[in-house]
Amino acid sequence: MTYLLAIDQGTTGSTSLLIDAKTLKVIDKEKYDYRQIYPKPGWVEHDLNDIWESVTISVGTLLKRSKIDPKNIMAIGITNQRETTCAFTKSGKPLHNAIVWQDRRTADYCEERTEQYNKVCKSKTGLPLDPYFSGTKMRWLLDNVPEVKAALDKKDLCLATIDTFLVHRLTDSKNYVTEPSNASRTMLMNLETFDWDSELLSFFDISRDCLPEIKESFNHFGETKNVGFLPDGIPILSILGDQQAALFGQACVNVGDIKSTYGTGAFLLLNTGEKLVRSSTGLLSTAAYSFRGKKVYALEGSAYIAGAAVQWLRDNLKCIKSSPEVSTLAAQVTDLSQMEHVLFMPFFTGIGTPYWNSHAKAAIVGLTRDTHNGHIARACLEGIALSLNDSVSSFKKDFPQLNDIRVDGGAAANDILMQMQANFSQKTILRPEVIDTTAFGVAIGCLVGLGEVSIEDMGKYWRLEKEFKPESNSYYANKKSLWDETIKRLYL
């Protein structure tokens, strides 16, 4: 047998999947979490050595348990948290902790320069000027970390996203590359050319010499060398940012296909094909993937907090002992009239689509003396669904050709949340048998790069596990109206 190894480097941990290259069945998987670093309120960092260790332990444990010969791994695919930004030397030495996509330290920088950015840059990037994206994080590293500035002066600086860091480490510092789905999140790549743009680089005052080469998404990115837990010579053939990897893994390869991934945050991507659609409703225009000269685009809606809201109930309020218990607690509420005025606004790290308010804070409103943990748990799930529904509403306005929504990620296993999503959006929700579609997407991307699987035929590898049809209930329409009114009152 031959195998594909998918490495999914996520916000809270690294997951590795071993997949049969012929049947595309998942053989086994292993996740290893690592620490989150919060230097100041609103700041979130990761130690690059922690990230690398999590990958080595995840892959090493997986291979040991599966008892396969690693020489039978035919290719590696990599998917990653996208906007998280790192600085390291050409020999691979970290110069500072990675600044995570959730980090808001550059909010003031963004406010000061938004008007100028919108005139010069926004049409090229498809993105608002927001701390979420990598460009302002790179600028902060250059302005505030002496080691980074010194490396720049010595022409020894690498400024990149996590995919680039992993390839660099896996290839013994030989290859310094990225691809469009990650590069498009930096605010430095021109969406029309899929290349670094001199005007964007000038706006952020970042040298092109610090940045990796942008290659097509399904390509030969390098081969393993001196890794230790893998033999030399395994090719890396597929890289996609996590949300684009989920889009691909969900076989959303036709125009109008849409997926929603529920992780720490939640993100919806809509395939717009070779047409670059510029949103008028606060959505992001982004690269989906590129292959054999073809540029494929997507519209994206972003909710910074999804599963993290449930984790907050678990870790901060101690309402539940494990995240799956939120369903049991929420199910205690059988009379929805008790929930009419209770809202959980999960904006712990600001609001993404469609409002883009970096300074927004979370809130629970509408509490009465009889409110209990069950109400809070249900409101939390509703808050996640309503945050995503704001993006669905924007999709309907910008791109009417909207198919059923395919879902994945850990929280997609929550039946209550999925039914809420269907009810608020009035769209059918489709959950596949495999909800680890992020890693699956880059695994099958390896076979696309080899020419063994065509993009057009990917649908035959997707299998439905359960669908959730929208219910007609005035409660959800009324709750949506209350949500809209509360956002306008508190955050706009």
DSSP string, 260-311: EEESSSEEEEEEEET--PPPSSSPEEEEEEEETTEEEEEEEEEES-SHHHHH
The pLDDT of residue 456: 85
CA distances from 139 to 10, 12, 144, 201 (A): 23, 24, 9, 10
Task: Give the three-class secondary structure for 176.
Answer: coil
pLDDT at 459: 84
Report which of 310, 303, 342 is spatially closest to residue 326, judged by C-alpha positions. Answer: 310
Q: Classify residue 100 by its DSSP letter.
A: P
Q: Which residue has the tokens 């290859």?
A: 175
pLDDT number for residue 263 = 84
H helix or E strand, kind and range, residue 139: helix 134-144
Phi, psi of 306 (to 5 degrees): -135, -90
Biggest CA–CA distance in the chain, Å, is 66
8 Å CB contact between 297 and 274: yes
User: Which portions of the chain are predicted below pLDDT 50?
Assistant: none
CA angle 373, 385, 130 (to 5 degrees): 110
- Per-residue model confidence (pLDDT) at position 356: 87
| Per-residue pLDDT, 79 | 96
Q: How many CA atoms lie within 13 A of 107 on its CB side?
A: 16
pLDDT at residue 359, rounded to an integer = 86
Q: What are the structural domain ranges in the chain?
A: 3-243
Q: 3-243: which CATH topology?
A: Nucleotidyltransferase; domain 5 (3.30.420)
- DSSP character at residue 349: T
Beta strand 235-241 with 73-80 is: parallel
Is the pTM value of this prediction over 0.95? no
> Measured between alpha carbons, how far is 220 from 445 in angstroms, rounded to an integer?
11
Give CA angle at 449 (448, 455), nearest 5°. Answer: 25
What is the C-alpha to C-alpha distance for residues 291 and 92, in angstroms, rounded to an integer? 29
> Dihedral through CA 339, CA 341, CA 347, CA 351, nearest 10?
120
**What letters, b where the CB count within 10 A reaches 16 and e where it falls short, cover 248-268?**
bbbbbbebbbbbbbbbbbbbb
- Give the separation between CA 464 and CA 147, rounded to whole angstroms: 50
Integer Cα distance of 264 and 410 in angstroms: 9
Q: What is the DSSP secondary structure assignment for residue 195, as one 8-state letter?
A: E
The pLDDT, as a whole number, for residue 389 is 95
The residue length of the chain stands at 492
Output the CA torsion sign for 355, 356, 357, 360. Answer: positive
Q: How far apart are CA 277 and CA 283, in angstroms?
A: 10
Q: Which H or E run contains 445? A: helix 437-450
The pLDDT, as a whole number, for residue 304 is: 87
